Amino acid sequence: MNAVTGPLESALAELLERFHAAEAVALGRAISLVENERPGFEDFLHEVLRVGPSAARIGFTGPPGAGKSSLLSVVATIWRTRNEQLGVVAVDPTSPYSGGALLGDRIRMSDLATDPGIFIRSMATRGSLGGLATTTKEVIDLMDAFGFDRVLVETVGVGQTQIEITAAADTVIVVLVPESGDAIQAMKAGLMEIADIFVVNKADRPGADRLVKDLRQGLHLRVGTVLESEPVYHGLDLDRIRRKESGEEFKGPGWSPPVLSTVAQSGEGVEHLMDMIEAHRSWLEESGELEERRRARGKVRIQDVVDRELRRTAWHSDALLAVLDQGLDRIQKGKDTPYSVAWDIVNRLLR
């Protein structure tokens, strides 16, 4: 069973046409097509992604209630005054109990609610068990391909989702608040490695200065001692660390994440944040890191899609399901193990 075999089915061809004509309704529908993995969605993505990535992808992550949406809304409003076209993807967790979700990020973006130059989409994490679903990353690609100058992504920082934002954004902004604890906690959570920019929001509250200082110190520890301070989280890439240490990783001078403080409501510190976002963009482009990040993203995508296709091919095939069933019978009779059955299925898949 092959995706990307031929012309799109007529309904999708029509959707594609309207997508290319930059109709908001078509983007809304296309996102659902992808999010729900409806038949033909990969062919649709294949068509749409013929144009490579061009938007600046900016991720906002951090603990619940840190002010990610408020901050995003403030910077978005300023970019809109410069007539930049913006796409926003706001991801909130699916309730593991009901499978439902309450998506409330738009509440903070009310001021932009009728602005035709910004498109906001709320998404639930659905089945991704804490990570960023492949479909979420595909939706970000859709937004990019639609032609926005920037695609802003908000994810709640809990474990793997937070780490995986690096797989979706070029610039990762980690938003913390004075109540978030100290730099050691940020280190343990792997934040030191993912943040391109740290923001201590709610700087109108006590403790902000202390956290800023603490984070700066924590970041300082890393300089020149990459291996010592690289946190041991899932997915540690030793190769990359080696290259980083030997200086091969960066073609230009390195980037040290700045630590800023903001008050989202008053806009204090926001101009500085925006300057840093621009500075990071220039660094990404000049150092070659942007190409590197895009390549890494491409690799993960290819692997994800291969995994997904294989899984679908296997478990949607009556013949292979029959092999599985018969295997289970033999296992119950003590005549076989799960491994030989699995190998049998893999061999048949590869034939």
Partner 1 sequence: MLNIDQKIRVLVAKPGLDGHDRGAKVIASALRDAGFEVIYTGLHQTPEMIVNAAVQEDVHVVAMSILSGAHMTLFPKVRELLDGAGANRILLTGGGIIPVEDIEALESQGVGRLFGPGTPTTEVIDYIQNWFVGQDTF
Ligand X SMILES: Nc1nc2c(ncn2[C@@H]2O[C@H](COP(=O)(O)OP(=O)(O)OP(=O)(O)O)[C@@H](O)[C@H]2O)c(=O)[nH]1
Which residues are at the interface with ligand X (CB under 6 A)? 64-70, 105, 108, 156, 201-202, 204-205, 263-265
**Least distance from partner 1 to the Cβ atom of residue 351, Å:** 21
From 22, 15, 14, select the one nearest 87 (Cα to Cα): 22
By CB under 5 A, is residue 155 in contact with Mg ion?
no
**Least distance from Mg ion to the Cβ atom of residue 233, Å:** 24
Beta carbons within 8 Å of 297's beta carbon, 6+ residues apart? 137, 167, 168
The DSSP bridge partners found for residue 261 are 200
Q: Is the distance from CB of 286 to CB of 253 less than 8 angstroms?
A: no
Cα(20)–Cα(12) distance, rounded to whole angstroms?
12
Binding residue (CB under 8 A) for partner 1 from 2, 81, 98, 246: 98
**Least distance from partner 1 to the Cβ atom of residue 117, Å:** 12
Indicate the residue among 24 and 342 with the shorter CB distance to partner 1: 24
143: number of Cβ within 10 Å: 24
**Least distance from ligand X to the Cβ atom of residue 92, Å:** 6
Cα(293)–Cα(278) distance, rounded to whole angstroms?
17
Which one of 93-101, 105-113, 171-179, 240-248 is the stretch in contact with Mg ion (CB under 5 A)? 105-113
3-state secondary structure of 265: coil
Query: Which H helix or E strand runs over 91?
Result: strand 86-92
Residue numbers 307-336 binding partner 1 by CB under 8 A:
311-312, 315-316
Cα(185)–Cα(89) distance, rounded to whole angstroms?
27
**Least distance from partner 1 to the Cβ atom of residue 142, Å:** 12
117: number of Cβ within 10 Å: 14
Binding residue (CB under 5 A) for Mg ion from 35, 105, 170, 193: 105
Q: What binding mask, one character per residue, do residues 293-312 give for partner 1 by CB under 8 A, x or -?
A: ------------------xx
Q: Say how far residue 312 (Cα) sits from the centre of its chain.
A: 23
Which one of 34-42, 236-244, 268-276, 334-342 is the stretch in contact with partner 1 (CB under 8 A)? 34-42
Which one of 27-35, 210-218, 237-245, 273-281 is the stretch in contact with partner 1 (CB under 8 A)? 27-35
Cα(112)–Cα(77) distance, rounded to whole angstroms?
7
Indicate the residue among 91 and 187 with the shorter CB distance to ligand X: 91
Cα(89)–Cα(120) distance, rounded to whole angstroms?
6
Residue 95 interacts with, from ligand X, Mg ion, partner 1, none (CB under 5-8 Å by kind): partner 1
Cα(124)–Cα(107) distance, rounded to whole angstroms?
16
Indicate the residue among 105 and 144 with the shorter CB distance to ligand X: 105
By CB under 8 A, is residue 81 in contact with partner 1?
no
Q: What binding mask, one character per residue, do residues 125-164 give for partner 1 by CB under 8 A, x or -?
A: -xx-------------------------------------
316: number of Cβ within 10 Å: 10
If you compute the radius of gyration of the chain from its CA atoms, what whole number of angstroms results? 22
Q: Is the distance from CB of 96 to CB of 266 less than 8 angstroms?
A: no
Indicate the residue among 53 and 267 with the shorter CB distance to ligand X: 267
By CB under 8 A, is residue 37 in contact with partner 1?
yes
Indicate the residue among 5 and 98 with the shorter CB distance to partner 1: 98
**Least distance from ligand X to the Cβ atom of residue 275, Å:** 18
By CB under 8 A, is residue 106 in contact with partner 1?
yes
Residues in the chain: 351
Scan for tokens 């409003």, then name that residue: 77
The residue sitting closest to Mg ion, measured at its beta carbon, is: 69
Cα(193)–Cα(259) distance, rounded to whole angstroms?
14
Q: Is the distance from CB of 33 to CB of 44 less than 8 angstroms?
A: yes
Question: Which residues lie near partner 1 (CB under 8 A)?
Answer: 24-25, 27-29, 31-33, 36-38, 94-95, 97-104, 106-107, 110, 113-114, 119-122, 124, 126-127, 311-312, 315-316
